[in-house]
């Protein structure tokens, strides 16, 4: 979900405002996708590299996340959305961890859609962790590693969207993206709407996927 800072900068607003509007875009998207028949949606909210940001910005992001859970969890839960967290979120402050654990627990039996949120997530760290776990149990194979990834209970990644004009993966779902279709857009995250997602899905529907076959 990239481009919050640039969105704010273009308007001579503080970065925190960009993050706040980014939060609104998340809310709008979750409301918009619940009837679209998506099995799972994963949002990259905080990377393991985002700790390099200023203490003030990190604290803004954490308060935003807390407020989001407090305000929106009931609505999300009522729509049958199951919340999953991927990443080492236990490294967050205890109050944030408690809110996240509650959100996971409260929605665990929901089946309409899975909303996975990547928090303190880094794909290389995920793969190293999964390989270590796989090795501890036996042979290291693509399957044994895959079974230990945070995403092991999520469907295969079909479509990966990157906003704000960047054309790189930035340590997101590297393993899972092996055969994913990519969609890059210049739209800054705060401006991203369910219509943009529909546009990306329509393009996805036109692509011919061969998975290495012909
Ligand atoms: C993404 O927006 C938000 C998070 C990383 C949480 P950025 O803050 O990276 O926005 P830009 O890249 O400065 O525009
Ligand atoms: Mg950025």
CB-based contacts of 105, cutoff 8 Å, min separation 6: none
The CB of 4 under 6 Å from ligand 1? The reply is yes
CA of 4 to the centre of ligand 1 (A): 5
Nearest CA to ligand 1 atom 12: 3
Cβ-Cβ contacts under 8 Å for 133 (sequence gap 6 or more) = 148
Question: In this predicted model, what pLDDT tens digit does every residue of 15-54 receive, in sequence order?
Answer: 999 999 999 999 999 999 988 999 999 999 999 999 999 9
Predicted pLDDT at 124: 98
Low-confidence ranges of the chain (pLDDT < 50): none
Ranges of each domain in the chain: 4-205
Spatial neighbors of 208 by CB under 8 A, at least 6 apart, are: none
Q: With H, G, I as helix, E, B as strand and everything else as coil, classify residue 72.
A: helix
pLDDT of 200 reads: 97
pLDDT at 34: 81
Give me the sign of the Cα torsion angle 82, 85, 91, 92.
Answer: negative
Question: Does ligand 1 come within 6 angstroms of the Cβ of 88?
Answer: no
Q: What pLDDT is stored for residue 155 in this prediction?
A: 97
Q: Which of 4, 50, 102, 186 is catalytic?
A: 50
In the CATH hierarchy, which fold is given to the domain comprising 4-205? Undecaprenyl pyrophosphate synthetase (3.40.1180)
Is 50 annotated in the active site? yes
Whose Cα sits closest to atom 5 in ligand 1?
46
Tell me how far apart the alpha carbons of residues 156 and 180 are, in angstroms, rounded to a whole number.
8
Phi-psi region of 119 (alpha: psi -120 to 50; beta: other; left: phi over 0): beta
- Which atom, in ligand 1's list, is nearest to the CA of 46? 6
Asked if 110 is an active-site residue, the reply is no
pLDDT number for residue 214: 85
Give one word for 12, left, alpha or beta, with left for phi > 0 and alpha for psi -120 to 50.
Answer: left
What pLDDT is attached to residue 35? 80
């Amino acid at each position: 979900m990239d481009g919050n800072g640039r969105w704010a900068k273009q308007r001579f607003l503080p970065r925190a405002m960009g993050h706040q509007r980014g939060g609104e875009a998340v809310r709008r998207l979750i409301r918009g996708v619940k009837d679209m028949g998506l099995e799972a949606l994963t949002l990259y909210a905080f990377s393991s590299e985002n700790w390099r940001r200023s203490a003030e910005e990190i604290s803004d992001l954490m308060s935003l996340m807390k407020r989001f859970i407090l305000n929106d969890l009931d609505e999300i839960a009522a729509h049958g959305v199951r919340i999953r967290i991927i990443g080492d979120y236990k490294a967050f402050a205890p109050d944030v961890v408690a809110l996240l654990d509650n959100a996971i627990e409260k929605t665990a039996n929901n089946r309409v859609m899975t909303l996975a949120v990547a928090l303190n997530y880094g794909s290389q760290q995920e793969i190293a962790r999964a390989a270590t776990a796989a090795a501890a149990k036996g042979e290291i194979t693509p399957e044994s590693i895959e079974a230990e990834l945070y995403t092991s209970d999520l469907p295969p990644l079909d479509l990966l969207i990157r906003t704000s004009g960047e054309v790189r993966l930035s340590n997101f779902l590297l393993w899972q993206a092996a055969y994913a279709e990519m969609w890059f857009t210049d739209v800054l995250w705060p401006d991203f709407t369910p219509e943009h997602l529909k546009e990306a899905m329509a393009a996805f529907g036109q692509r011919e996927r061969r998975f290495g076959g012909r």
